[in-house]
Each structure stands twice: as C-alpha cells, then as structure tokens.
Structure 1
Amino acid sequence: MQAMSRSVWLTIDIGNSTIKIGLFAEDRTLATVTESSVEEALTRITTWNTQTPPCRIGLCNVVPQQSEVLISKIAEFTDAPIFEVNSHAIFPIRLDYTPPENLGPDRLAAACAAWYPGGTSQIIIDAGTAITIDVVRADGSFLGGVIMPSPTLSNRALADYTAKLPNVSLTPPEGSFGTSTVEALQHGLIYGMIDGVLGTIARIEQFLDSPSVITLTGGWYQILAEHIPRAQINRNLVLHGIRLLMQFNPPPE
C-alpha cells in the first residue's frame, strides 16, 4: 500500500440517489465530486487513493447495503482508519431527539456543519430524495425536524398508485395553476415542495422566536433558493459535516 498523506482526509456521503465524495487537507477542500453508483464511486476513490492516499476516511450513509460494499472494497487497497457517522459519536451539538439512533447520519452531519461553531439558531434544509428540515438552537441543542417527500418521490408515488396519472418531467411550471393534467401535476409537485418548505420555515421561526440562519443543500436547492433568498447555499454540507465530526472523533491510538 502507498504511503498516506498525513493531512489528507477522504469523506463519503452515500445518499439515496447519489454518492458524494470529498478530499480535504485540514480545513481546505481539495476536490469534491458526485457519482451515481457504487462502481463509479469506487473508481473515483481508487484514483484519488493512487494520487493522494488519505490518512483517514469518513463515511456517512443512509443506504447500509452500499456502505458495506464500499467499506469492504476500500479495505482492499488502504488501511486508513474509517470513521462512520452515527448517534454514538462525539458531536459539537446536543441531541434532543428520541431515540437518537433513529436520527439519520446525514442529518447529523449537516446540522453540525451548519451550526458549528455556534452562536446562531439554524434551520438546515437538505432537499434530496427526501427533504429534511432540521432545527438547532443557538446553544447547540438539536431540537428535531421535518421530513417530507421530494417531487421525485411524490411523482413516482402518484404514477405507481393511481390508474391514470403519469410520470411528468419535473420542470418548474409557469402561472399559478395547470391547464392540463401534466401541468397540474407539475404545479402540485414543484409548488407543493416550495410551499411546504416555506410554511415549515415560518412555523419553526415562530417557535424559535429569535433570528435564525437558513442553510440549504441537496439536489433541489436551486429551485428552493429562488424562493428563500436569504438562505446560505452549501452544496457539500454533509461532506463538510463528516470532516468536522472526524475532528471531534480521532481514531484510537
């Protein structure tokens, strides 16, 4: 095996639809990429390992089967210690969530990255296959959140569980309502997401009764950002969260 680069960390975010990979040198981002399959991710990781072998690997996953395959394959060409984000790790935030082990590792990583080093309440929106909206108080208390289907999931469900509604292209429609079945579905799917997210933000901010920062990530971030102009965009929020949690959870001596 090649000599490791002592300051280089590899981070992997295994989502429902894609796999994001990041290479970090301390606080500096060297490279990030999004792959669509385990095979593509392994090819990328193998290439990076040949060029700049990482000394540590961090992993966050919501698809356990893919995680098992990746870990076993990675172990074939590196003995770099692997840290997996889970509820038993050390966090800069406090989890007021029951039971904590049911909290998705991607939500944990994103919340930590958005909040740290603290001081301001955070609303974290990860608009992926499932849309999660989580809340962290200024003091670091993770209060919980909201989970809703994305337009992708809702589109599939309507096509699968109704007799005549088709799958439609998920492009933002014009106007206030549709004048055909396809347009009506597009309005419902896209603006259902937008209105659902905006309504949730309003309820959360009323509950917090204090200024908050909104951080937005995930595949649907661009459409949502048009309707949440004050949102901060971080396309690689989970990767940054994994890197941060690796700092809080050093490998055993």
Structure 2
Amino acid sequence: MLLAFDVGNSNIVLGVFKDGKLVTNWRIETDNNKSADEYGMIVTQLFQYEGLQASDVKDIIISTVVPSVLYTLQHLAMKYFKKRAITVESGVKTGLVVKYDNPKQVGADRIVNAVAAYQKYGGPLIIIDFGTATTFCAVTEKAEYLGGSIAPGLKIASEALFEKTSKLPKVELEEPGQTICKNTIQSMQSGLVYGHMGMVDYIVKKMKRELEAITESGKAVTVVATGGLSTLIDDGVDCIDHVDKMLTLEGLEIIYQKNKKPAKPCKEKKEPIQNE
C-alpha cells in the first residue's frame, strides 16, 4: 500500500492506495505545533478504525505547502512506518515541463494537481484548487506548466471580514439565494460566495483566451476544479467542466509511480555441488 499526505495550510488530506486505487482517505487539521508522535497517534487510530495495518504500507509520499510540517511527517514516516518518505520537490519526476520563472517557487500542490489533471483529461487545461487560497493553473497540450493566478480563498475572505470589522459576524459559506439581501448574514454570504463565483468566471475566461492563443491544434481548454469548496462554486458557474475532489491524492500516486525505486531482483540460490 501507498500512504499519501497532501499538506495544506488548513488541512492535511491523507489517502491510502492499494494496487493504484484509492481505498480510503481522511482530512485532519494542519497544526504546526503537533509533534510527530501526536500526528502518529492520529494516523494510527485512523488505520485501526479502517482495519488497516501499518506494516502493509510499502511507501509514503508527501506534498506540502507548509515547510514546518514536512520534517514532522518525515519523522512520523520513519518512526511509525519504518519508511523514508518521498517528498514532492525540485528534482522529482512529474512528466511536466515547468515554465515558471523560478520553478522552485511553485507550490507542490499546484504541480501535483497539474500532473493528475493532465493524465486524466489531457491538455490544454486549467486547474482551479479551492483551498485556503484559490489557485488557477494553466497547462498546455504539450504538458507544459505555464503558471497561473493566486487569489484569497473563500475562508480567508470570510475570516478577514469577521476579524477586521467591528460588527460583522462569522457566517457559514453557503448560497443565500439572492443578491439583494435583507439581513447581514445573507448579505455577507452573497458578497462572499457570488463574488468568488464572479472572480472564477472572469479569471477562467481570460486564461482560456491566453491558452487558446498558443494552442496550435485548436483543441478546447478543459477546466477542472478541486478542493473542499469546489462543489459550492461549481453550482453557480458554467466554466467548470469537471469537479474532481481527489485530484491531489491521485496526482501523488502518479508521481510516486514515476519515482519509486524498482524492486531489486532476488538472487538465485545456487544448489550445493554434491560430491559423489
């Protein structure tokens, strides 16, 4: 089995793959203050709940945008699984040509999403990840990762309204059903959710034009969305072709297959020579 960690600023998503198929996944809070043992106990309990054995894990792969958590999870891998984790970083084989000015600045999650989306849907494509930040990534039909846009996520925007104003409350992120709202909570929901939908529509429209201008085959651009709030936004826009919430975990499995060390062939045992 393969254990995959997708570490975001707000949550860590874990997935277990068996024979290339995702068999289960969990979401836990990202906490910079947790030790390897604390995370280890959480993962151990999750394994027990699902009836999984730590000894069946053959490899571990980690993608993180939180550097302070990386060492903790690497230590967890060694202590609780006796494995040296593969980390998605510069030098790891992805199958993409990264055209960013400084490839080391691209978030690992953005590359992992692009790897999975390109393998599943082909290019040209736009990948939107609705996480702590909302990221837009463009990939050409030749598997070239061009870059994209980064915007504050819905949760960040909501928390900023609450923290930076005196009277505005915390609200649930859901559609209020109208934009002319007659109470504060619905007014905030309208501005947050519909405002985000409008941003997504505009950025995707502009990115599509830029991608189409360099797509020699004339193939249409595919738009793939992932992340916890992808379904909410997809309900109000027409620009998203596919919602794929397990995209990042699947990308980790693909990258693992490209980077795993081949098994060493067993040496044939020589039969002892019998003296007659």
TM-score scaled by structure 2? Answer: 0.81
Alignment of 1:158 with 2:132, yes or no, is no
Contact 1:19 1:41 in 2 (8 A): no
Query: 2:95, 2:258 → 1: CA distance?
Result: 8
Residue 160 of structure 1 and its aligned partner are, at CA, apart by 1.7
Shift of 1:49: 6.2
Select which of 241, 249, 252 maps to 2:259.
249
Deviation at residue 175 of structure 1 after TM alignment: 1.3
Match of 2:147 in 1: 144
Give the corresponding residue for 2:110.
107
Cα distance, 1:23 vs. partner? 1.3
Q: Could you tell me how far 1:117 is from its partner in structure 2?
A: 6.6
Shift of 1:238: 0.8
Greater fraction of residues in strand: 1
Which structure would you say has the larger Rg? Answer: 2
- Show structure 1 runs of 5+ residues with no match: 1-7
Amino acid at match of 1:87: S
Displacement after TM superposition at 1:225 (Å): 1.9
- Cα distance change, pair 239–49 in 1 and its aligned pair in 2 (3 A): same
1:156 deviates by 1.0
Q: Which residue in the other structure is 1:10 paired with?
A: 3
1:92–1:116 CA contact under 8 A, matched in 2: no
In the alignment, which residue of structure 2 is the partner of 1:238? 248
Q: Give 1:214's aligned residue.
A: 223
Q: Deviations 1:29-57 (Å, cap 9, x if unpaired)?
A: 22222223563743356547625521111
Q: Does 1:24 align with 2:24?
A: no
Counterpart residue type for residue 19 of structure 1: I
After TM superposition, the runs of 4+ consecutive aligned structure 1 residues lying more than 4 A away are: none
Q: Is 1:43 aligned with 2:44?
A: yes
Q: Please name the residue that 1:182 is paired with.
A: 185
Cα distance in 2 for partners of 1:9, 1:178 equals 48
* Conservation of the 8 A alpha-carbon contact between 1:87 and 1:103: no
Could you say which residue in structure 1 is the equivalent of 2:267? none
Unaligned residue ranges in structure 2 (runs of 5+): 213-218, 265-276
- Give the length in aligned residue pairs: 246
Cα distance, 1:24 vs structure 2:
1.3
Q: 1:238 to 1:68 in 2, by over 3 A?
A: same
User: Which residue of 2 is the match for residue 4 of structure 1?
Assistant: none
Aligned position for 1:5: none
Distance 2:43 2:200 in 1: 34
TM-score, structure 1 normalization: 0.88
In the TM superposition, residue 27 of structure 1 has moved relative to its aligned partner by 2.4
Q: Confirm or deny that 1:77 pairs with 2:80.
A: yes
Q: C-alpha separation between the residues in 1 aligned to 2:62 and 2:46?
A: 13
Residues 54-97 of structure 1 show CA distances to partners (whole Å, capped at 9, x for unaligned) of 11111011122222222212311222231111132122111011
Deviation at 1:204, TM superposition (A): 0.9
